[in-house]
Amino acid sequence: MTEHQKRDLVSIEDLSTEEILELFHHAEEFRQNLRDWSDVCRGTIMATLFFEPSTRTRLSFESAMLRLGGGVITAADSENSSSAKGESLADTVRVVGGSYADILVVRHPQDGAARVAGRYARVPVINGGDGAHEHPTQTLCDLYTLWKEKGRLEGLEVVLCGDLRYSRTIHSFCYALARFGANIVTMPYPGFELPEYVLLRLRRDFGVQAATAAVDDLPGIASGSNTAAYLTASKPHQLALFTNLTNVEVNRIDAIYMTRAQLERHDGESTLDYPRLTRSTLGAAAAKDARIMHPLPRVDEIDYEVDDDPRSIYFRQAELGVPMRMALMAFLLGKIQLRAQPPKVLATQRGIDGGATLRCHNERCVTNGEGVRYLDRDFRLRSSEAVGVLCCAYCEREILVRFLGDEKSRTFHAYGSPEGQAIPEPRRVHFETDSQAEAAGYRSADD
């Protein structure tokens, strides 16, 4: 492998918008004849470390590497790997990402585990899905498919339907759609709406505004009396087209993205009457030019009789995963160069040490799982006003910091106060509540 800066793909935010578009063009080149590229990664070995079941993601990556001329080693069954003996993910990737392999693809049940792999492995790491956090390569494949089908991403009306709460694919897709200026219509199964932390991030990082959406009758997934959420990252002058952005009528749909119920991450919630897309759905006027997408595997949420409809592109979506992943791996391995600039701040950079006072509130986070044994609590600053917004560097779940302590004086101040902001960075200790600060031995400066 040629010498170049190590890059990981743990979150879709690890690639700039311009890099994503440039990768689409490389994927197009690879797609023209998949058999023409066997010299690109000759002598390179990819390891797939999958601690959760997978068919398409693992095989797609393995096919992509073989078509690039590289080799593949795999640990596709956690029960037969050293993790069953208690070996940490950090130790596994340090061993495999040494002389064993030149690039790692990791799937893991704990949120944020892929970031752990990226930090400890010496070679590039690709997130093949970590808990309910993200699945960035699925998002790249989805965006690439939609871009090919519609010729653009900006301004598209994309309906997300089903389990939006636990689907890591949906979370990555939402962030990416917002970045590209697409509009999102959410039609969740009741109780499985987009998590609040996803909505918060969409609002703050991408300027997304929310409205109630009135959607034309879509039998099986929505009726005319149903309402849905409309999320738009449109520019301010475009928002004037909506009536105070309180109610948006959706009568044209560019894509319907169905998701299965993520039963492996549910806590026993009922999924009776789960949405089901049928021929009747496709007969709706709003769906006339819609593309039907699904990350697969499908269970019962799309009828088999829909497969022959030319608007159903979920199998093509899966096929396009191979050239897209070929382009991504060739890039991360330094075999192709991109002219586009990377994101301004790479997520691999260390942030704020949580020390003994802060912990991630996401119980599924790797820092509250196996990482308790060895991970530092690391947070990144999202915004800094009257209250600080920090996010876990691993799973990106946010916490609010209301007080700053001074390690030298052992006093604490309101976060946004002049006294709090005057505390030098190396001496700052972050607290969510005043009682948390007092329990740590700090006193209020007002006392």
Mind telling me the catalytic residues?
A: 56-57, 85, 107, 135
Residue with tokens 């609590």: 377
DSSP assignment letter at 415 = T
Bridge partner residues of 127 (DSSP): 106
Sheet (strand 388-392) strand order: 352-353, 378-384, 388-392, 398-401
Structure tokens at 51: 């601690």
| 247-250 and 209-215 strand pairing | parallel
Burial class (CB in 10 A: 0-12, 13-18, 19+), 347: middle
Q: How far apart are CA 167 and CA 188, in angstroms?
A: 11
Torsions phi, psi for 365 (to 5 deg): -70, 145
By C-alpha distance, which of 351, 340, 165 is closest to 259?
Answer: 165
The answer to whether the beta carbons of residues 157 and 183 sit under 8 Å apart is: yes
If DSSP codes are grouped into helix, strand and coil, which group holds residue 195? coil
Read off φ and ψ for residue 293, nearest 5 degrees. Answer: -120, 155
- Tokens 């918008």 belong to residue: 17
Tokens standing for residue 427: 């001496």
- 322: its two tokens: 């191979």
Long-range contacts of 377-382 (CB under 8 A, 24+ apart): 377/353, 378/350, 378/351, 378/352, 378/353, 378/354, 379/351, 379/352, 379/353, 379/354, 379/430, 380/347, 380/351, 380/352, 381/351, 381/352, 382/204, 382/205
CB atoms within 10 A of CB 266: 14
Residues 6+ apart with CB under 8 A from 390: 351, 352, 358, 379, 380, 381, 382, 398, 399, 400, 401, 430
